[in-house]
Structure 1
Amino acid sequence: MSSLPKLLITGASGFTGKHACYYFSKAGFEVIAVTRTHSFNEQIQTEHCDLTNKEAVRRMIKKIKPQFLLHLAGQNHVGQSWVDPVSSLEANFLSTLYLIEGLRHENPTCKIIVVGSALQFDPKDISTLKHPYSLSKTLQVLIAQSWEGLYDLPIVIAKPSNLIGPGTSNGVCSIFARKIVEMEVKNAEKVLEVSNLHAQRDFIDVRDAVSAYEILLTGGKSGEVYDISSGKSHSLKDVINMFRTLTTVEFDVKSSIESQVEKKVEIIPFKLAGLGWKPIVPFKSSLIDTLNFYRKNEKI
């Protein structure tokens, strides 16, 4: 029997999940990767579970009894949340409730990291609600904070900004990179489409985010919300111009909004910095690694 601390990682087959599983398996944890159907290599134990099935979640928690939970699973596509809002609520809200409740009954000392979103809205001002995805992620965080307070569970909230880096993702940088590689390899139409070139985003490399999750698992304070961000703002125009320097392909850009300028985003990760964390992957390196991922996996 392993003496390593057991870490349950949900959403293990996703963009962040894959990075997290390999990172923590090298960092001295016994990783149990939770997915619906996918499996990892033989070095990483896989547990198949539908997290929207309350009884299945309870059985899994009772079987594994993890010391740590990194909850990454969920529906993270804004567009899909408009098409099927109920599924988004089930995937983001109910799965979190079932996991926390399962741990409350079977292993209440388990340290829990619930990963929220920068797209949460302010429940005090319903006008800030822009889409069902935001509702689902806000409810996810509210239930985690409520159970931490009501039942004194060790739950920490992580709130990453826009994650970038190598791997398949729904993020805008990944979408741009994939289209550019299709231009390079498949002679696809040499046009990038964007809604607003002046939209501002804080981008953080997924590998930096995963290192932040490790710090929160070991040193994060229960009940606290920790921003995970670069502290720097980039417009989508800046992103596209950077991509232009990383490819020999010349392409046009179509923007549906030409003049709407957004304020720079300022998300400073003060609390995490106080725990000794800082991002180390440069923005340009993240974009290079994203492009190279798709160049090596052009069939994705």
Structure 2
Amino acid sequence: MLRSPAMRRHESSPVALVTGAAGFVGAWLVRHAQQLGWTIIGARKPDTPWPSLDVEWVDVDLRDRAETHALLRATRPRYVVHLAAVAFPREAAQDPLEALRLNYGALDHLLGGIQLHAPDARLLYVGTGEVYGPRPDTAPPSREDDPLAPPNLYAATKAAAEVRATLAAEREGLDVVRVRPFNHSGPGRPPSYAESSFAQQIAQIERGEREPVLRVGNLDAVRDFSDVRDVVRAYTLLLERGEPGAVYNVCSGRGWSIREVVDHQVSRSKTKPRVEVDPALYRPAPPEGSTLVGDPARISALGWTPRYRFEETLDDLLADWRSRA
């Protein structure tokens, strides 16, 4: 287990171990937690570049039980935020067993290590709102006590991990809080996700790097989008105030069709590209519906409210891609 140079820890500040800290959400969580005065230990997959964040980095393969237990024994954190995952549905579909090893197996290893070496730690298990599955447009927003209907292998592995986390809380006495974030975006979002791909394409068109055609997939799908900066505030709030064993949606409660997302981003473009549906990107809506919107009432009761309108998120995302020339 390779570690970056150790940082001085402040005895009064909680120590948080963040898996997947080098990723999109992880980097935003690290920044926010540090503003709260927390000491962060960032766990990253070996051979992943260390982002320019002032944290203690630890290389660990979470698929390895012994390595994961050694990590918990060495760090003994107050909080553990488990973000590391195969997070893109197509990637999970290409290698389902690898998705299961990381999305389920890594969590099992973390829980075992916590039980042995940090039994007072609180684990925030970051799942996904996709476990509810899409619904008809007329259906009400998904609530935490609704039945799960994962529509793909990615969501199935995350649902299985949720069951494991629930068992740890109910049968093993561990302090576990589960969270189901719906779509979230913002600066740094990878281009494998639709709204970030659109922003990347627009920035490239504005620079003359590609033809003035915005290639899109199915524009009729409706998703619940939040700003990543609001989402990480929800995570720290749940670590501090969430009910042990409970599950919380993190979402806005409002659906955006992908067509609306495209229309907003094109309206901000300096070139006004032509929009074309690319058959390679098009995924037909499942028969059960194409809407996935959550109900944020439970986390709102803890005092969480979004600070960013999604229009602002999209504008910041486009500005980020424009800055990457």
Q: TM range, normalised to the smaller chain?
A: over 0.9
Amino acid at match of 1:53: D
Contact 2:198 2:216 in 1 (8 A): no
Aligned-pair Cα RMSD in Å? 2.2
For 1:25, the equivalent position in structure 2 comes to: 34
Cα deviation, residue 146, structure 1 = 1.1
1:42–1:287 Cα change, 3 Å: closer
C-alpha distance in 2, partners of 1:28/1:185? Answer: 40
Cα deviation, residue 171, structure 1 = 2.3
Match among 246, 254, 259 for residue 268 of structure 2: 246
For 1:101, the equivalent position in structure 2 comes to: 112
Please, what TM-score do these two structures have when normalized by structure 1? Answer: 0.92
Match among 179, 193, 200 for residue 178 of structure 1: 200
C-alpha distance in 2, partners of 1:259/1:14? Answer: 29
Matched, 1:156 2:177: yes
Q: Any gaps of 5 or more consecutive residues in structure 1? A: none
Matched, 1:285 2:312: yes
For 1:133, the equivalent position in structure 2 comes to: 154
C-alpha distance in 1, partners of 2:88/2:30? Answer: 22
With 154-163 and 188-197 compared, the bigger mean Cα shift is at 188-197
1:172-218 Cα offsets, whole Å, 9 max, x none, are 21111111111112431322333321110100100000000011000
Cα deviation, residue 92, structure 1 = 0.7
Cα deviation, residue 41, structure 1 = 3.9
Matched, 1:7 2:34: no
Cα deviation, residue 113, structure 1 = 0.4
Amino acid at match of 1:31: I
For 2:6, the equivalent position in structure 1 comes to: none
Give runs of aligned pairs for residues 108-257 of structure 1, distance below 5 A.
108-120=119-131, 128-169=149-190, 170-255=192-277
Cα deviation, residue 93, structure 1 = 0.6
1:143–1:186 Cα change, 3 Å: farther
Contact 2:218 2:283 in 1 (8 A): yes
Percent identity of paired positions between Structure 1 and Structure 2: 27
Contact 1:229 1:268 in 2 (8 A): yes
Amino acid at match of 1:236: I
Contact 1:230 1:268 in 2 (8 A): yes
Contact 2:130 2:292 in 1 (8 A): no
C-alpha distance in 1, partners of 2:185/2:271? Answer: 22
Cα deviation, residue 42, structure 1 = 6.7
Q: Any gaps of 5 or more consecutive residues in structure 2? A: 1-8, 134-145
Give runs of aligned pairs for residues 32-111 of structure 1, distance below 5 A.
32-36=41-45, 37-41=48-52, 43-111=54-122
Which stretches of structure 1, 4 residues or longer, exceed 4 Å deviation after superposition?
256-265
Cα deviation, residue 253, structure 1 = 2.1
With 89-98 and 244-253 compared, the bigger mean Cα shift is at 244-253
Equivalences, count:
296
Cα deviation, residue 239, structure 1 = 0.4
With 72-81 and 252-261 compared, the bigger mean Cα shift is at 252-261
Amino acid at match of 1:282: R
Amino acid at match of 1:88: A
Three-state SS of the structure 2 residue aligned to 1:103 is helix
Cα deviation, residue 121, structure 1 = 5.2
Contact 2:225 2:252 in 1 (8 A): yes
C-alpha distance in 1, partners of 2:284/2:194? Answer: 20
1:23-65 Cα offsets, whole Å, 9 max, x none, are 1112110111111233244731111111111110000100000
1:221–1:42 Cα change, 3 Å: closer
